[in-house]
Chain A
Amino acid sequence: MSKAKAGLLQGTLDMLILKALFLGPLHGYGIGQRIAQISGDELKIEEGSLYPGLYRLERRGWVESEWDVSENNQRAKFYKLTRTGRKQLIIEEQNWERLASATMKALRAS
């Protein structure tokens, strides 16, 4: 898949952020890096768009944040998944799998 064509469907970013945080607390920059890493560099999130997504998730209570010291001794805001966030991730994954399989079925229909 071409990187330039790997655009994200609406709502996918939330799921990817939740997935990145499922592996442990991270700051915003780290989340972008982790998404790129776990997608094998196929998905590059526009860096600025990550933050409104994070703030929305925090408002919904799916992630929570606190200020801490980063790996290079700078103050950074770290996000972590809440219990509700974990449940939501499972729901999002199931929805995504259903959508992907339905789309594939439609595409394979002759």
Chain B
Amino acid sequence: MSWIKATNRFLHAWRNPDDIAREVEAELRFHIEMRTRSNIEAGMDPDEARLAARKTFGDFDQVKTTCCEISRSLPFNSTVLKMGIYLILAVLAGGTALVTVNLPHHSLSGVLWQLVAIAVLARAFIVGRRSISTRQFASGIFKTKRERVHNDKVLSSDVCEKYRVGIAAHDEQGHTPVERMFE
């Protein structure tokens, strides 16, 4: 059944965000590679073909982030179902918190158990927030380590050309922006 597969995929995405990011990236890079080949066959030289392929693809990083986000969102459209799941999660988290508070904390094992419970609750909060959040995710708050590293790489190679356009150090008279301020 397709909804079972969709749910499995969602659970996999939840547990392995880095795998999903890697998979999405490989898929998008394959697309750009295919477009580059097609451009070369149409008579472009390889560099020009690659640049044109990236241009026609659009914002690689944005597309990747959106795809990762969709993979990690709940595979149900029903608000009632979503609310039910969040309610169960909230009850579980609340129950864990109650048990933790009532654990004896005068012994080392009690303190250790409390630390474990805090870690579990923190993880549950991050995972829950990640699935709910869409806008915050796009702005990078909940990006995986790998995505953040990739963004840095992209900024220094792929996207930089886009931002470099129009930021000239000198005007037509050879004056820098600072010199122009004091003219």
Interface flag for B51 (CB, 8 Å): no
Known contacts A51-B24, A51-B27, A61-B3; 17 additional CB pairs below 8 A are: A27-B30, A28-B30, A29-B30, A29-B34, A47-B35, A48-B60, A48-B62, A49-B63, A51-B28, A51-B31, A51-B66, A55-B66, A55-B67, A55-B70, A59-B71, A75-B26, A85-B2
B6 touches A48 (CB 8 A): no
B57 touches A48 (CB 8 A): yes
Task: State A84–B3 Cα separation when bound (angstroms).
Answer: 9
- On whether A48 and B30 interact (CB within 8 A), knowing A60-B6, A62-B2, the answer reads no
Give 27 CB contacts A-B under 8 Å. Answer: A27-B30, A28-B27, A28-B31, A47-B31, A47-B56, A48-B28, A48-B58, A48-B59, A49-B58, A51-B24, A51-B28, A51-B66, A52-B70, A56-B70, A58-B6, A59-B9, A59-B10, A59-B70, A59-B71, A60-B75, A60-B77, A61-B2, A61-B6, A64-B5, A75-B26, A77-B23, A77-B26
Task: State A27–B33 Cα separation when bound (angstroms).
Answer: 13
Minimum CB distance partner of B53 in chain A = A47
Interface flag for B130 (CB, 8 Å): no
Question: How many B residues touch the partner, as a band?
Answer: 20 to 34
Chain A interface helix/strand/loop/mixed: helix
CB distance from A79 to the nearest CB of B (A): 10
- On whether A82 and B2 interact (CB within 8 A), knowing A59-B10, A60-B75, the answer reads yes
Minimum CB distance partner of B28 in chain A = A51
Task: State A17–B24 Cα separation when bound (angstroms).
Answer: 18
Q: Chain B interface (Cβ within 8 Å of chain A)?
A: 2-3, 5-6, 9-10, 23-24, 26-28, 30-31, 33-35, 37, 56-60, 62-63, 66-67, 70-71, 73, 75, 77
Chain B interface helix/strand/loop/mixed: helix
B30 touches A47 (CB 8 A): no
Contact of A52 among B5, B33, B63, B75 (CB under 8 A): B63
- On whether A72 and B37 interact (CB within 8 A), knowing A51-B28, A61-B2, the answer reads yes
Interface centre among A27, A47, A77, A85 (most CB of B within 10 A): A47
A74 touches B33 (CB 8 A): yes
Task: State A45–B31 Cα separation when bound (angstroms).
Answer: 13
B30 touches A52 (CB 8 A): no
